[in-house]
Amino acid sequence: MTCHRLVRRSIAVGGILAVALTSASPVLAVAAHDIVPGVIAAYSLAAPRSEAPSGLVARAVVPAGAPCPSLRTTRAADGSTRFVHMAVRPTPARTSPAFDAITVCSAPMPVGLTDASISGVVVPATMPTAVDRLAMLGDSGCRISSWQVQDCASDIAWPLARIAQSVADEHPDAVLFNGDFFYREAPCPAGSQALCGSSPPPVTGLPFTDSAYGWIADTLLPMAPMLSAAPLIITRGNHEACYRGGNGFFLLFDPREGTQDTCAPVSTTAGLVAADTVPTPTYAIDLTVSKGRTLRLAIVDSAGGADNAVTAFAAVQRPAYVQAADLTRPRRGRESWLLTHRPLYGFITSQFAQPGVPFNPWGSMDQAAAADGLLGNYAMVFSSHMHIAQSVQLPGLPGQLILGNAGTLLDPTTGYPLPTAGPQISASQGYPAPSWGWVGVRFGYAMASPQADSSSWRIMMKDPDGGTFARCGLANRELFCRDL
């Protein structure tokens, strides 16, 4: 029997006690032998069918030294209970001691289940058979850097825990998270202890900034209600670049086997250096919307590249968009969205202008150049990266939705006139001027629901407590939003 009740999780990790109080993760009444004490997080990741025929991979994070829990499953065919072994996902090479405090456990979710749980925490057992509600969000971490500190002790200034609870309360069929989990990139500056004093600093001597403790503080605990609420469809953000939070991302949240060393530091005669941040292969996730209607999500890794200008990286990035275009070739009954962290055409505030430098209102220029001419298959492009909510329409191109407002310090509230020209990717080549744009600078997330017309969606912008502050409509590749 499943019961939803307030759960007090006491998690001993490397001698530090972290206590999380959540009400969104269903807890299963199970026998004592089914419980591994101190499970830090349990969740299900949407994965390519080549990785898991069910389309889901189960993950659990436990303190180092604890055994991997079993995945408890209920079969649809006969209602029988079976226990599936979860294997240790290897820690990225040459990262010790950054991740020595935890063990990550993983298993493909079997096909044909009705229920699944890990150490008593219910996790999604199947991909949705009919999508009615999609949660969408990105850019969630609490910023701690040498130049700027967010108030991580305040659920007003950093409302991720409230947002995660609200998302869980929406009972979404899937959660689309568009990267930038990790922002704790420096020791707490002197004088800022009241804001971030308990935040784990980066490990000295390693060429990256994340650690197990950092991920626990920035993601696993505050996101706990949302993590186990629905299958997670996740893209990598630039804050998961290899010199930043990439090692933790590939250990915890990449659904593919064998990717954990993608950002492993490189050993040189001068010592360890960060691995290059290059795009990982594009893959696709299919969601059944209704009979005869499928939504295909092309997941493009855009962690690298420049925002302000087109560089040589655009040529490195372009094959990922070519792969995405190939995966989304038009098919009867199928619509496609492109999910990539950096927007292809999102406009920034004029307050970011630098004295004496010509102001370019468009961000992610390497991505715009890399994707040029490859966007004909999509009804919408969903991104984050900019710490606002925004929608942009360029004639003849899919609507661009940006949601980078899930907790990270917001961008300025003013300075967003609609640009008079589109992104200029070379001296002779550019995108068309935008026909329409909308900006909302406030924390939150979005809920998307399919409408009766093929490829038509309603998208509601929500505040951290679930109140609606704007409404958007997507139809015929055009996206329009208005404040409420």
* Structural domains in the chain plus CATH codes: 39-483 (3.60.21.10)
The model's pLDDT over 191-224, given as tens digits with 9 standing for 90+, comes to: 999 999 889 999 999 999 999 999 999 999 999 9
Cis? peptide before 97, omega within 30° of 0:
yes
Strand partners, 73: 82, 116
Q: In terms of Cα–Cα distance, which of 221, 284, 277, 285 is closest to 246?
A: 277
Q: What is the pTM of this model?
A: 0.93
Tell me what the mean pLDDT of segment 65-84 comes to: 95
User: How would you classify the pairing of strands 380-383 and 334-340?
Assistant: parallel
Whole-angstrom distance, CA of residue 298 vs CA of residue 149: 34
Tell me what the mean pLDDT of segment 127-144 comes to: 97
Residues in the chain: 484
Which amino acid, 473?
Answer: G
The model's pLDDT over 7-25, given as tens digits with 9 standing for 90+, comes to: 334 344 433 333 343 334 4
For residue 161, give both structure tokens: 């825990």
Confidence of residue 185 (pLDDT cuts 50, 70, 90): very high
Strand partners, 402: 383, 390
Confidence of residue 455 (pLDDT cuts 50, 70, 90): confident
User: How would you classify the pairing of strands 102-108 and 113-118?
Assistant: unpaired
The model's pLDDT over 265-277, given as tens digits with 9 standing for 90+, comes to: 999 999 999 999 9
**Residue 12: phi, psi to the nearest 5?**
-90, 115
Chain centroid to CA 224: 14
The answer to whether 34 touches 119, Cβ cutoff 8 Å, is yes
Whole-angstrom distance, CA of residue 254 vs CA of residue 246: 10
Reduce the DSSP state of residue 90 to 3 states and report it. Answer: coil
The answer to whether 272 touches 264, Cβ cutoff 8 Å, is no
244-248, 357-361, 374-378: the lowest-pLDDT one:
357-361
30 has a pLDDT exceeding 70 = no
300 has a pLDDT exceeding 90 = yes
The answer to whether 46 touches 255, Cβ cutoff 8 Å, is yes
**Residue 72: phi, psi to the nearest 5?**
-90, 125
Confidence of residue 453 (pLDDT cuts 50, 70, 90): confident
